[in-house]
Amino acid sequence: MTQEERLDILAQVASGIAKVLGDDTEVVLHDLTKREIVFMHNSKITGRERNYRINPTVYDVISNLADGEGHLIGYASKSAQGKKLRASHFMFMDEDNNPAAMICINQDPSRIQEIISYLSESIKIRDVDETAVNDTSYSLNDEDYIQNIMKDAIIKSVKQLDPGYINTKEGKLMLLRKFKFQGVFSVKEAVPFICETLSISQATLYNYLREIRDEEGREPYNELKLR
């Protein structure tokens, strides 16, 4: 199958998804061989134009953090107007298992959230000492979005393990090997966030990475000190 044939089929799939999900969803098809958008429906959701070009690093991070089927589902994003969105990505490979295309679905959940909020308020019993919780928003800015994906991936990986095991050196080494394989260390602010999450110093982190380096017989991770 040629890339043109693949994109033609996926454009039809993307169009069908857009029809099913309705006006509150933007669907975008990316040609990963050219790093450009080839199909976009309902662009009002993000406020982007068809000729918008995403930082290539975004594609690489999504590819590294996607699951075994090439899916990265339900990450927080934000429109150009500041509205919170739910973003999902689906990677498609070519015959040589190289990333060829990606469908992105950006959902505006505000109407559903309004319904949920209304129902919650209708049945809520307030305590006298109830405190408000500040909501955290994420930017559509490529660098912020990459960091958001990185942090979510780290937190999810940590939560999958037994807390007692995470507190051991073996547990931390296992997580660091996984983060290295996923390309997490290429993301700005990854090192301090990992240190905070694993409750270790940067010096300890670099020592662990040297151990992993020695196991693999590769070059030191000196470049990490720049991040």
84-135 pLDDT per residue, tens = 899 999 999 999 998 899 999 999 988 888 888 878 878 876 554 444 444 4
Closest CA to 140 of 21, 36, 58, 226: 58
CATH fourth-level superfamily of 3-110:
PAS domain (3.30.450.20)
List all residues 6 or more positions away from 90 whose beta carbon is below 8 Å from its beta carbon. 70, 71, 102, 103, 104, 105
Answer whether residue 166 shows pLDDT above 90: no
Which tens digits make up the pLDDT trace of 32-81? 998 889 999 988 888 887 777 777 778 788 888 888 888 989 888 888 77
Q: Which residues sit opposite 167 in a β-bridge? A: none
Q: Which amino acid is at 212?
A: I
Query: Does pTM top 0.75 for this prediction?
Result: no
For the segment 168-177, the average pLDDT, to the nearest whole number, is 92
* CATH 3.30.450.20 segments of the chain: 3-110
125 half-sphere exposure, CB direction, 13 A CA radius: 0
Which tens digits make up the pLDDT trace of 19-39? 999 999 999 999 999 888 999
Residues in the chain: 227
For the segment 141-155, the average pLDDT, to the nearest whole number, is 81
